[in-house]
Amino acid sequence: MTISSAPKLFQPLTLRSVTLKNRVVISPMCQHAARDGFAQPWHMVHYGKFALGGAGLVFTESTAVSSNARVGFADLGLWHDDHIAGLKAIVDFVHANGAMMGVQLAHPGRKAFSEPLWEGGRALTADTLDKSGIAWRRMGPSALAAGEQWSVPEEMTLADIAAEIEAFAAATRRAATAGFDVVELHFGHGYLAASFLSPLANRRTDAYGGSRENRMRFVIEAAEAVRQAWPQDKPLFIRLSCLDGAEGSWGLEDTVVLASALKQVGVDVIDCSSGGLTEETRSLTIPRGLGFQVPFAERVRREAGIPTQAVGLIVDPRQAEQILAEGKADLIAIGREALRNPYWANEAALALGHAEDHSTWSFRHAAWLAKREPIMRKIRDEGQLEQFKAAR
């Protein structure tokens, strides 16, 4: 099959010098399996299986740019040079198995330090954090808590703002050393950058507060610093909450304006998410359904003239293909569906007719599957599976 006749999902996409073999992206998903920021065997297996599964680009989970910038105690980190080696080993494995590797850099700000989802997802109390023995801070543009369960953050000084922007830049330089192909800045979900954008979270009266232009300043300056720190031939993504989930706060019209400004400073893709400003980390207020955030990606792509990544309950290959074919996004991010089926991309190629057999799979898997296929074809032709299911 020629590239021009391939399904859109399996047409390569070149961003700067990086060419993705297809449009399937594994979305960042918190694992809370690191130790003081260091990657563990869990991470090698977790990310490696997505490369084996055929995705074009695999993202790490939210990776902290400083020790205070952790969603939970066990986030991955890039706040120290010693973190590089463990991540480089994962990047090398992903590359060796045909995929590109991205890192999502994050600072949760006033939403730092919460429980993993499987422990309840609640904000850790100041008492719990004090007893942990780690130095911790929650910070934000203003001394306004993210919700009832969250402690009031410290209002950031201008020196704090400059320091956190440099933390993003320093983590970016470490990401380059580790060999990552893409950096994504997590500027959504009520995290530090997103809280600067919202007039409900940002009550500052200096150059970083007040007007929309001022509230965008931290995001623009951080993106500029990262763009300067990141190799010019590699793409930069930014995840935004296109609507932050709070009435009278940040909306889609604001996101279009911001995306246009980010394009001007060298951002290549907007990853279009939503929600997270004031609600608890384990819930969203924006109604959910199949592809519920795709309209955000479509509008940002059309009105800001920048490539977008669609994410959010995209579960079926035909659904993904339709989104791309209709020009609503340029990339499809698969998250929890990839946890259910790490081979989603490979199976999508079969479902969309891009592949007739398993020859596009890892050769260590494809050879065994090819050996079994004639037997399975006979079983299907004879209706044995249907008979078995009926008998049950």
The catalytic site residues sit at: 191
Nearest in space to 319 (alpha carbons), one of 4, 29, 20, 7: 7
Q: Where are the beta strands (DSSP E) in the chain?
A: 13-15, 18-20, 24-26, 57-64, 76-77, 100-106, 139-140, 154-155, 182-187, 236-241, 269-273, 308-311, 331-334
Nearest in space to 136 (alpha carbons), one of 195, 67, 192: 67
Q: CA of 336: how far to CAs of 29, 87, 238, 281, in Å?
A: 8, 22, 20, 16
Cβ within 8 Å of residue 328, ≥6 positions away: 294, 295, 297, 298, 301, 310
The label of the residue with tokens 């590797």 reads: 101
